[in-house]
Amino acid sequence: MSRPDLYNLTSALLFLGFVGAGAFLTRPWRGDHAERRRRRISLFLVVALGASFPPGLLQRSLWPFASWHLIAKRLGPTLEYPRVMLVDSLGAEHNIDYRAWEPLIFMEIRHWVWWDLPRLPPAQQQEASRYLLALANEGRRRALAGERVGTRDRWLGRAAAPAFLLHPALWADPSNVPPLPFTGLRLYVEVWNLEDRARGDSSMQRLLLFDGGQAP
C-alpha cells in the first residue's frame, strides 16, 4: 500500500470512527438521566479531540480533520501576508469581495494562490487564473445588478453560517463595485515587522510573487 493510500485509509477510519462514536454516544438510551448523558457527551468530545490530534502531530490533513497550517504556526519577527489583487482593462488594481469566489472559501483560495499556483506549469497557471477571474467577474456582474454576490446565503439568507474568518463585503453597495471587468490577477506578499508595527510604524514591503497577465 502506497503512502497516499495509507493516509486516505487512515482518514476514512478516523472519519467513520468519529461519525460512529457520535451516533452511538449521543443517541437516547432507555432509563437515561442527565448525569449519564453528560458523561457520554464528554466521552464523545474525547473521541473528537483524539481524532484531531494525528493531523496536528503529523502536520498532515486527514479529512475532515485538518492540520490547519494556515493558522497554527510560530511567528517570527516579521509577518508575511498574501494579498490577491484583480486588474481591470485599464491596469487598475482592485481588492476582491470574498463572496465572489464562493462556494470556494476565500482564505483557502488566497493561500492556495500563494503557495501552490506559482508551482504549477505555466499553462495550468493561466487556466487557474482564468477560472478565478471568471468567478470574480460573475460576482462583479451580480453585485452591479443588486443581486447576491456569493452562493453561501442562497438558501438561508442572513441566517447562513459565516466562513471561518469574517471579511468585509466590499461590493455590498453597487457604487463600490469596480466599473470595468477584470482581465488579470496578481499576487502580492506584504511584509512588516511586528515589533515596529506595535510601536506605531505601519510601513511594509510589498513584493509581487505572481502576475497572471491579461486574460484572453
Q: Which three cell numbers stand for residue 14?
A: 478516523
pLDDT at position 216 is 36
Q: Is the omega angle on the peptide bond into residue 82 within 30 degrees of 0, that is, cis?
A: no
Tell which wins on pLDDT, 44 or 32: 44
Q: What is the model's pLDDT at position 57? A: 74
Higher pLDDT, 178 or 157: 178
Helix (H, G, I), strand (E, B) or coil at 84: strand
Residue 159: its pLDDT value, please? Answer: 79
Cell triple for 178: 469596480
Contact 22, 44 (CB under 8 A): yes
- Residue 87, C-alpha cell as written in the block: 486588474
Work out the mean pLDDT of the chain and round it to a whole number. 84
Confidence band, pLDDT 50/70/90 cuts, at residue 164:
low
Per-residue pLDDT tens for 149-162?
988 887 777 777 77
- Who contacts 14 (Cβ-Cβ below 8 Å, separation ≥6)? 51, 54, 62, 65
Task: For the chain, give the number of residues.
Answer: 216
Helix 3-26, helix 34-58: angle, nearest 10: 170
Q: Report yes or no: 152 and 103 within 8 Å, Cβ to Cβ.
A: yes
* pLDDT tens figures, 53-110: 777 777 667 666 765 555 656 778 888 889 999 999 999 999 999 999 998 888 889 8
> Once rounded to an integer, what is the mean pLDDT over residues 115-121?
89
Q: Look up the pTM and report it.
A: 0.65
Confidence check: pLDDT of 8 > 80: no
Least confident of 5-19, 101-115, 152-166: 152-166
Q: Where are the domains of the chain?
A: 3-58, 78-211
Backbone angles phi, psi at 191, to 5 degrees: -125, 125
